[in-house]
């Protein structure tokens, strides 16, 4: 325009705006025109924040900055969910994207849509460009999006759980984990169905794992001590901890009984100490403490299934114990192990008793028999109630 040279880009822009640019914007009041001249064309920012020294061209922007940043005020609430926001523009964007489902920003590489422009840009950088610009200074893990990086620090390294379930007070580090918990646990929703067996799951990951391990037969986790294989890593680790290392990390605070698996510990507390029976048969309304016992009840009582077949006479039985009793009593040759001292016959060949009671040193061949002995003899428990007389039986 005039070939004049400047030391900085800011000086050049200011020169263009004030000397060469003819702004045709019109205002209803003179002070608005003067504000525009000072702010836009001369780049002046006369209003400085006394808390952080940030400067603004308009006093209204300064006031909003102080109110939202330094005072933390959120005066704009969503009528749909009650969430509060600092300014009306953010509230409007929230309503459009969250409640109305608007996603105006589409990725030109994969057509995925986003409600915010910054989400689209973050997606393109991290997914399509493979950029991971945010590195954790505690574990060096890298993230493609700042929000993921901040969430990682907050939940993993600070251990924060800011989202509390209003039904059971369980806490979560991530909001979507809370929503998932409420949907699957309290609402009982199972939105994901297996197309092979129609079994339903609350989580998509559980469905995939079920399909891979049950129908696909995948066992990707092999124990290097006994070569047993597992479909899930958690089962593999639990096996190593409890079977090979003998660890029992879960102790009941009521009776000091120890458990190798958290699931067993929780089940013990729920059924023994709380007396809960959460599984009700939909055919006869009988209640059970274990889901497996409920399924066994339904399978044998209501469906009449007999899955255990005698290999001598093809007779079928509901339970393994019934089959064993039948073979011992009916098929005498089933007792094929003979004592070399008295010729008494047995169904097992060694008769080992590897489980010793720590209270009276009595030995047992099965762990279940030892536990039943301790429960009934030393603890005096009577867990079986007759429906007719309410007398407790010791089995």
What is the rounded CA–CA span in Å between residue 77 and residue 63?
Answer: 19
Report pLDDT for 390.
44
pLDDT at residue 22, as a whole number: 53
How far apart CA 369 and CA 362 sit, in angstroms, is 11
Which residues are paired to 346 by β-bridges? 337
Q: Which part of the chain has CATH 3.30.160.60?
A: 105-157
| Distance from C-alpha of 352 to C-alpha of 124, rounded to nearest angstrom | 65
Task: Residue 327: count other Cβ atoms within 10 Å of its Cβ.
Answer: 20
Average pLDDT over residues 337-366: 66
Give the rounded percent of residues in the chain with a pLDDT score beyond 90.
2
Q: Give the Cα separation of 125 and 105 in Å (integer).
A: 15
Confidence of residue 108 (pLDDT cuts 50, 70, 90): very high
Cβ atoms 68, 51 nearer than 8 A: no
Please report which confidence band the pLDDT of residue 107 belongs to, taking 50, 70 and 90 as the band edges: very high
CB atoms within 10 A of CB 145: 20
Angstrom distance (rounded) from CA 83 to CA 167: 19
pLDDT tens profile 124-181: 888 888 888 889 998 889 988 888 888 898 888 988 888 899 988 889 988 888 988 9
The count of C-alpha atoms lying within 13 angstroms of the C-alpha of 215, restricted to the half-sphere facing its C-beta, is: 11
Average confidence score pLDDT of the chain: 79
| 3.20.20.70, 3.40.50.2000, 3.30.160.60, 3.40.50.2300: CATH of 105-157 | 3.30.160.60
Q: How far apart are CA 41 and CA 19, in angstroms?
A: 9
pLDDT mean over 375-394: 60
3-state secondary structure at position 7: coil
CB-facing half-sphere around the CA of 26: CA atoms within 13 A: 1
| Banded model confidence at residue 295, pLDDT cuts 50, 70, 90 | confident
Residues in CB range of 320: below 8 A, 6 or more apart = 308
pLDDT tens sequence across 62-95: 888 888 888 888 888 889 888 888 888 888 988 8
Task: Dump pLDDT digits (tens) for 136-145.
Answer: 998 889 988 8
Q: What is the pLDDT of residues 27-60, one digit of tens each?
A: 565 555 555 555 555 567 778 999 887 888 888 8
What one-character DSSP code corresponds to residue 78?
A: -
Give pTM, 2 decimals. 0.37
Q: What is the pLDDT of residue 383?
A: 62
Q: Which two tokens stand for residue 283?
A: 């055919």
3-class DSSP state for residue 202?
coil
Q: Is 207 in contact with 192 (CB distance < 8 Å)?
A: yes
Q: What is the pLDDT of residue 392?
A: 45
Structure token digits, residue 316: 């079928």
- What's the pLDDT band for 288 if we cut at 50, 70, 90? confident
**CB 107 within 8 Å of CB 120:** yes
Residues 14, 37: Cα–Cα separation, whole Å = 11
Convert the pLDDT of each residue in 231-282 to its tens digit.
888 888 888 888 888 888 889 988 888 888 887 888 888 888 888 888 899 9
Alpha helices in 279-387 (DSSP H): 291-297, 320-330, 367-373
Percent above pLDDT 70 for the chain:
80
Question: Given this model, what pLDDT does residue 25 score?
Answer: 55
Banded pLDDT at 391 (limits 50, 70, 90): very low
- Predicted confidence at residue 8, as pLDDT, reads 66
DSSP string for residues in 25-44: ---SSHHHHHHHIIIIIS--
Across the range 316-327, mean pLDDT stands at: 80
The Cβ-side half-sphere exposure at 344, using a 13 Å CA radius, reads: 5
Per-residue confidence band for 361, with pLDDT thresholds at 50, 70 and 90? confident
- Nearest Cα neighbor of 221 from 236, 239, 206, 234 is 236
pLDDT band at 218 (very low <50, low <70, confident <90, very high): confident
Helices (H) and strands (E) counted in the chain, each on its own, are 13, 26
Q: Are 288 and 279 in contact (CB under 8 A)?
A: yes
Closest CA to 258 of 269, 244, 270: 269
Collapse the DSSP code of 183 into the 3-class scheme (helix H, G, I; strand E, B; otherwise coil) and give the result: helix
Pure H helices in the chain: 9-15, 30-36, 59-65, 88-94, 117-123, 146-152, 175-181, 204-210, 233-239, 262-268, 291-297, 320-330, 367-373
């Amino acid at each position: 325009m005039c070939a004049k040279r400047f030391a900085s880009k800011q000086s050049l822009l200011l020169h263009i705006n004030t000397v060469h640019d003819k702004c045709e914007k019109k205002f209803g009041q003179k002070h608005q025109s003067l504000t525009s001249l000072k702010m836009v064309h001369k780049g002046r920012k006369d209003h400085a924040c006394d808390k952080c020294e940030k400067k603004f061209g308009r006093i209204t922007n300064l006031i909003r900055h102080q109110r939202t940043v330094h005072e933390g005020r959120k005066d704009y609430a969503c009528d749909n969910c009650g969430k509060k926001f600092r300014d009306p523009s953010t509230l409007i964007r929230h309503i459009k994207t969250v409640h109305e489902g608007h996603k105006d920003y589409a990725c030109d590489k994969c057509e995925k849509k986003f409600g915010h422009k910054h989400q689209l840009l973050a997606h393109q950088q991290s997914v399509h460009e493979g950029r991971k610009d945010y590195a954790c200074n505690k574990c060096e893990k890298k993230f493609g999006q700042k929000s993921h990086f901040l969430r990682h620090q907050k939940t993993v390294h600070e251990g924060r759980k800011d989202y509390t379930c209003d039904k059971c007070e369980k806490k979560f580090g991530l909001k979507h984990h809370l929503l998932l918990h409420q949907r699957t646990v309290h609402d009982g929703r199972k939105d994901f169905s297996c197309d092979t067996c129609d079994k339903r799951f609350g989580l998509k990951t559980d469905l995939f794992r079920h399909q891979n391990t049950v129908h696909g037969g995948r066992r990707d986790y092999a124990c290097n001590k006994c070569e047993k294989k597992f479909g899930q890593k958690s089962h593999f680790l639990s096996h190593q901890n409890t079977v090979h290392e003998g660890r029992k990390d879960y102790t009941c605070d009521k009776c000091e009984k120890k458990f190798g698996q958290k699931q067993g510990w929780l089940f013990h507390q729920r059924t023994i100490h709380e007396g809960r029976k959460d599984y009700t048969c939909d055919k006869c309304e009988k209640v059970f403490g274990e889901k497996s016992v409920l399924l066994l009840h339904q399978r044998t009582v209501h469906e009449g299934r007999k899955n255990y077949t005698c290999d001598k006479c093809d007779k079928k039985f509901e339970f393994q114990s019934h089959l064993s009793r039948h073979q011992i009593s009916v098929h005498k040759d089933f007792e094929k192990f003979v004592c070399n001292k008295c010729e008494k016959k047995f169904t097992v060949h060694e008769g080992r008793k590897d489980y010793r009671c720590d209270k009276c040193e009595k030995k047992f061949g099965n762990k279940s028999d030892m536990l039943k002995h301790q429960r009934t003899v030393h603890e005096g428990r009577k867990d079986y109630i007759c429906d007719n007389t309410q007398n407790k039986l010791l089995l």
